[in-house]
Structure formats: structure tokens, C-alpha cells
Amino acid sequence: MGKVAFVFPGQASQYPGMGKELAEKYALAKSVFDEADKALGFSISKLCFEGTEDELKLTANTQPAILTCSVAAARVLAEKGLEPDFVAGHSLGEYSALVCGGALKFADAVRLVRKRGTYMQDAVPQGVGAMAAIMGLSHAVVADVCKRAANGEVCTPANLNSPEQTVISGHASAIKRAVELASQAGAKRAVILQVSAPFHSALMTPMQEKFEQDLRGAEFSNLRVPLATNVDADTITTGAEAREALIRQVSMPVRWEESVRLLIDEGVNTFVEVGPGRVLTGLLRQIERSAGALNVEDEKSLTVTAEKIGAARSDAA
């Protein structure tokens, strides 16, 4: 078989009850939730297993919750002898990828993303910033739409997700104008997203400066496997590169489509989405239909993925 990449979801993949089944079935998964509770000083596990959609939607909660679920799933995969050849993560997911790749200690990562989420939530007053998803226009057309909609305000592509989907970010009034212009330009859909801040835009720069100090204070090791970064869509292997990429990632776009294509060029033909939801699996189908897409978020998906990768690897051997 070709190579395997573990990819880790970002914000908007959360749902009530996530991670609960794995924590009940696997002692190793439960130990990850216990470690997160201890590191944060409150029960993120209770929030994942029993929290409401509204509680989980708060960025300061969402980020550590998704990270914890993703790392729990990755640890169970490792216990079954399934390790990736490459890792990547979408925005917040890059932290999960770095934990899985051995560059960041889990307890440090969970504290970092709690701060990241809190800073992001507080960076821009409610209602001032917004994000929108544009479907069915090329990234170049969306960039042009943003330029025309800006009128002196911030309006930029934030997530270059797939040939079909670009997410934009900036001042709420400019984003609203961009949505109208995108519809006029022939977008299949252009919708304002329910998020608490304009992520991956210049409006995040003040928060980036504050968060940089936390990242500089954290310990980063070299990776066991290469990571495809959001900010450069390039593979890295050192802890120093990982830290710099996370600092710049805050206000720069997530180049997801390019990252996936890079991994395919590196010989990856199976992508495993590790963590809640199937957002990245959906994007992969839009980017490259021939690539294998698996996911691990509960007992059933874990079993299917372990069997498929195990069978493919023994065939190759």
C-alpha cells in the first residue's frame, strides 16, 4: 500500500457526547481525558461527554475538547500498532497532529489551545468580525471578491479548503458584502458561519502577539514523522519550525487543499481523519476522489479503520 496520513479536525467538528465511547472502551483513551482534566483544572471530559451544543461551541471550550478527543483516538490507534507516515491538522487540528507526531506534550498542548481559544474569543468584540463559507467558486475568484468587498476593512480568504470551498474572514460588514458579491459571481452557496471570531485574518494580529509569548514558552521537540503545515503547505520535521508555523497560523490562511495535494505527491493514498466528525473526509472527496478516506471517532469507525489498514499493510508485505 501507499503511505498513510493522519489528519486532525479543527473547530466546527465538535458534537455532544464525542469521545465518550472510546473513553468507556479503552483505558488509554480514558487516561487522555483524565490528563486533560488535570492539566486544565476543570472537567473537559464532562464537557465532551455531557456538555450541550452551546457550551461546546464556545471557542475556549471547543479547542481543548476537540484536541482531547483527537489525541485519545490517536493513542488507541497507536496501541493497535497503527502509526502514520505523515500528519496534518486543520487549524486547531495542527496541535493534535503535533502531539501525535511527538513534537508537543499533550498536557502542554491542551493548555495552549485553551489559551488560544480564550484569546481568539476575546480578540474582537462580538458582532465586529465574521466568517463565511463560499462554495463553487475558485480560490482566485474568491480572493477577487474579497478585494472588492473590503472597502478599507479586513476581508480575506481564511481557509483554502478544497476546489469547491473557500472560507473568508474579516469585518462583519465586509464579509456581508463579500457574500452578496460571491452570489452575484455565481457561487453555489455563500453563507455566514456561526463562529465567535474572524479567525485566520489580520484582525487576529493583536491576539497573535499575545499568544506568541505562550508558544515561545512551550517546549517543542522534533517530530517523529513529517507534518504538513497549514501556513506554508510544506512538510517540516523540527520543533522550531513547528512553533514558528503555529505563531504565523493565527492570522494567516489555512492552505488545506495544497497540504492534501502535497501529501498525495509524497505518496500518501490513505487519509485517516482522527477525531470528531467527518469534515476533512468530505473535503478530501472534493480534492481527490481516488484517495482512500477513513475516520476514527468511536468504536465502530476505529474497528473498520484498523481492519482496513491492517489488511492493506499485510497485503503489501
CATH code of the domain containing 176: 3.30.70.250
Q: Please tell me the least confidently modeled range out of 20-29, 85-94, 122-131, 249-258.
A: 122-131
User: 136 and 228 in one domain?
Assistant: no
Report residue 179 as a C-alpha cell: 457574500
Confidence bin at 40 (pLDDT 50/70/90):
very high
Does 97 have pLDDT greater than 80? yes
Q: Which of 195, 221, 243 is the last residue of a domain?
A: 195
User: 183 and 84 in one domain?
Assistant: no
User: 56 and 9 in one domain?
Assistant: yes
The answer to whether residues 294 and 310 touch, using CB atoms and an 8 Å cutoff, is: no
User: 303 and 165 in one domain?
Assistant: no
User: 118 and 70 in one domain?
Assistant: yes
Residue 52 to residue 48: CA distance in whole angstroms: 9
The answer to whether residues 157 and 142 touch, using CB atoms and an 8 Å cutoff, is: yes
Residue 194: per-residue pLDDT: 81
Residue 173 to residue 129: CA distance in whole angstroms: 8
User: 176 and 80 in one domain?
Assistant: no
Q: What is the dihedral of CA 152, 138, 271, 266, to 10 degrees?
A: -100
Residue 18: per-residue pLDDT: 98
Any idea what the CATH number is for the domain that residue 64 is in? 3.40.366.10
Does 110 have pLDDT greater than 70? yes
- What residues are annotated to the active site? 91, 200
User: 236 and 90 in one domain?
Assistant: yes
> Domain range for residue 97?
3-123+203-316
Q: Which of 163, 195, 227 is the last residue of a domain?
A: 195
Share of the chain above pLDDT 70, in %: 100
Residue 192 to residue 194: CA distance in whole angstroms: 7
Give the containing element (helix H, strand E) for 270: strand 268-274
Q: Is 140 left (phi over 0), alpha (psi -120 to 50) or beta?
A: alpha
User: 307 and 250 in one domain?
Assistant: yes
Residue 229 to residue 259: CA distance in whole angstroms: 7
